[in-house]
């Protein structure tokens, strides 16, 4: 699975992808994550070169119809997405196979993300393009242009709250979808779906002492009685 992230803030991903299971999955090439920053695609009047040599690349502009906040402009976002599509097309020509591409747009009013959606995309696609919005959102014509190009996008929300950007949602999807990719989870971290899991878990010591009080592991878990343990876990789900 190759994740292509369209974001103004690629560095935000470094620490999360640099540790633990996802870092291992990237190192072992089970998953791949690439970044495309719309800011690097800014041209024309939105690119200003100052006398001191500094360059400003402006990615946002004021909303038509008024209102607070700024809107991420369509052009640099589309150029970033097109650069991914071009790369994938070139690759598929070389390999003589069409890449399976899904484009996902993040929105707090989109379809609620779930494990079943994660499974579905992990099973069907080899390339996911995730578009991270910022400010008041992205010019709606990005989706319209993509649709005209033959790419229907999915609008996905990770929950009923509004975040400042799509970067956290993208990390949530990378994490959850990667779990569905073969070989990402080691044998000690197997998929929940394949075993009886519970949200109440314990490890050593058997008795935890805190300020003179004893906190014990439920007896059933120490019993070695498989059937009773599974039943207890089911109840605790
Ligand atoms: N006014 C916009 C909200 C913009 S929030 C609206 O009502 O749609 C800025 C960006 O953060 C969004 O474009 C989206 O990419 C991301 N975002 C915020 N909350 C999110 C959520 N719950 N799920 C997915 N993406 C979210």
Q: Decide: 68 in ligand 1 pocket, CB within 6 A.
A: no
Q: Average pLDDT in the 91-117 region?
A: 93
* pLDDT band for position 228 (cuts 50, 70, 90): very high
* pLDDT band for position 193 (cuts 50, 70, 90): low
Q: Decide: 140 in ligand 1 pocket, CB within 6 A.
A: no
Q: Decide: 172 in ligand 1 pocket, CB within 6 A.
A: no
Q: Which atom of ligand 1 is nearest to the CA of 165?
A: 11
| Residue 124 to residue 139: CA distance in whole angstroms | 28
Q: Decide: 157 in ligand 1 pocket, CB within 6 A.
A: yes
Q: For atom 11 of ligand 1, which residue has the closest CA? A: 165
Dihedral angle computed from the Cα positions of residues 89, 138, 168 and 164, in that order, rounded to the nearest 10 degrees = 160
Separation of CA 180 and ligand 1 centre (Å)? 25
- Environment class of 39 (CB within 10 Å of its CB; exposed 0-12, middle 13-18, buried 19+): middle
pLDDT one-digit tens code per residue, 22-66: 999 999 999 999 999 999 999 999 999 999 999 999 999 999 999
Q: Domain-by-domain residue ranges, the chain? A: 2-187, 195-235
Best probe residue, ligand 1, of 63, 72, 107 (max atoms within 8 Å of C-beta): 107
Q: At what angle do helices 115-124 and 167-178 cross, to 10 degrees?
A: 70
For residue 16, the model assigns a pLDDT of 98
What is the model's pTM?
A: 0.94
CATH superfamily name and code, 2-187? SPOUT methyltransferase, trefoil knot domain (3.40.1280.10)
For residue 149, the model assigns a pLDDT of 96
Q: Decide: 142 in ligand 1 pocket, CB within 6 A.
A: no
CB contact set of 129 (below 8 Å; sequence gap of 6+): 4, 6, 81, 84, 85, 101, 102, 103, 104
pLDDT one-digit tens code per residue, 4-33: 999 999 999 999 999 999 999 999 999 999
Best probe residue, ligand 1, of 12, 162, 176 (max atoms within 8 Å of C-beta): 162
Q: Decide: 165 in ligand 1 pocket, CB within 6 A.
A: yes
21-35, 65-79, 87-101: which range is least confident on average? Answer: 87-101
* pLDDT band for position 187 (cuts 50, 70, 90): confident
* Closest to 99 measured CA to CA, from 166, 25, 1, 24: 1
Higher pLDDT, 235 or 187: 235
Separation of CA 70 and ligand 1 centre (Å)? 13
230: how many CB neighbours lie within 10 A of its CB? 13
- Return the bridge partners of 214, or none: 209
pLDDT one-digit tens code per residue, 127-179: 999 999 999 999 999 999 999 999 999 999 999 999 999 999 999 999 999 99
For residue 198, the model assigns a pLDDT of 86
What's the Cα-to-Cα distance from 107 to each of 59, 103, 116, 135, 166, rounded to whole Å? 19, 13, 19, 12, 8
């Amino acid at each position: 699975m190759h994740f292509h992230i369209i974001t103004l803030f690629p560095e935000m991903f470094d620490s999360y992808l640099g540790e633990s299971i996802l870092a291992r999955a990237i190192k072992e090439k089970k998953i791949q994550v690439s970044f495309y920053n719309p800011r690097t695609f800014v041209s024309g009047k939105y690119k200003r070169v100052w006398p001191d040599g500094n360059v400003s690349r402006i990615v946002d502009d004021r909303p038509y119809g008024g209102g607070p906040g700024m809107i991420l402009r369509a052009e640099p976002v589309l150029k970033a997405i097109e650069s991914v599509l071009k790369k994938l097309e070139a690759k598929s020509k070389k390999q003589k196979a069409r890449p399976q591409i899904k484009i996902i747009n993040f929105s707090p009013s989109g379809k609620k993300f779930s494990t079943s959606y994660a499974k579905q995309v992990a099973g069907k696609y080899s390339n996911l393009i995730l578009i991270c919005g910022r400010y008041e959102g992205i010019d709606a014509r990005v989706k319209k242009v993509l649709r005209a190009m033959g790419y229907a996008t999915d609008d996905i929300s990770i929950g009923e709250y509004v975040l400042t950007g799509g970067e956290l949602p993208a990390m949530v999807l990378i994490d959850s979808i990667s779990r569905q990719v073969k070989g990402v989870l080691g044998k000690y971290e197997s998929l929940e779906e394949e075993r009886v899991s519970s949200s109440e878990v314990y490890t050593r010591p058997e008795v935890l002492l805190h300020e003179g009080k004893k906190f014990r592991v439920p007896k059933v878990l120490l019993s070695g009685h498989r059937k009773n343990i599974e039943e207890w876990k089911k109840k605790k789900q």
